Amino acid sequence: MPKTSPMMEGILSKPLTPQESVTVTAVATDITDHQLISRFKEGSMEAMEAIVDRYENRIFNFGLKMCGQFQDAEDITQDTFLNAFRYLNTFREETKLKNWLFKIATTACIRKRRKKKCEPDHELSLDSFTNTDGTKETYDIPDWTDDPSDKVIQAEMNSVINNSIKTLPHKYKLVFNLRDIEGFSTKETAEILGISIESVKTRLHRARLALREKISRSYQEGKST
């Protein structure tokens, strides 16, 4: 569990109710989020900043992976938090704050894309990933290096991965980022996007197959130069 900052300790100094104490070990994060929301509703600006501290990097990175531009990621982060605090009174207690914020961030990404009048999404067909001519397809995917001395290689890998994700069609990119990067379950992703579980599974599989091709191609090109 992350260390509580002095500011958080101040905000959370109110004693927990007996009911909260029972469940605090199992779902500490959610209890804290809900406590922060209550404090914000009572007028605490520190509680608002503590919520931002917790989620701004994740929302910013999601915006960056979705749009590929720092400016767009900043707009999405601002829109997300402005709308979240504006409509916090509609937040349902049984919902996880993280899921709710990502739902708002997803809407911000879709709105940003509409504003930019981007090309319509193209479908990724499963048949395009299966070779029908009988030839054997080989994929060259590197292993991630955890060696801190390989910073240059890690930066190159990050660049290949991010560029590959960036080129996915928008609806596939949304599912991939929520499932594989942010770690939401299939059910949570379906709820955030308002689509069926089957659609999440289909889009995720195709996004992964497309990334396998893109990353493999980039890696092979990099090796040959």
Partner 1 sequence: MKENCKKNFERISEYLDGELGRDACLQIEQHLMECPECRDCFDALKKTIALCKKSGQEEIPGDMRERLRSKLRDCFSSH
Q: Which residues bind partner 1 (CB under 8 A)?
A: 43, 45, 48-49, 52, 56-58, 60-61, 64, 70, 74, 77-78, 81-82, 85-86, 126, 130-132, 136-139, 141-144, 154, 157-158, 161-162, 165, 176, 180-181, 186, 201, 204-205, 208-209, 211-212, 215-216
Taking the least distance from each CB to partner 1, the nearer of 74 and 121 is 74
Output the smallest distance, CB 143 to partner 1, in A: 7
Taking the least distance from each CB to partner 1, the nearer of 111 and 187 is 187
Taking the least distance from each CB to partner 1, the nearer of 42 and 119 is 42
Output the smallest distance, CB 57 to partner 1, in A: 5
Taking the least distance from each CB to partner 1, the nearer of 23 and 222 is 222
Output the smallest distance, CB 216 to partner 1, in A: 7
Output the smallest distance, CB 51 to partner 1, in A: 10
Taking the least distance from each CB to partner 1, the nearer of 123 and 137 is 137
Q: Quick count: other Cβ atoms within 10 Å of Cβ 223?
A: 9
Output the smallest distance, CB 209 to partner 1, in A: 7
Residue closest to 94 by CA, chosen among 194, 191, 196:
191
Residue closest to 192 by CA, chosen among 80, 117, 89, 26:
80
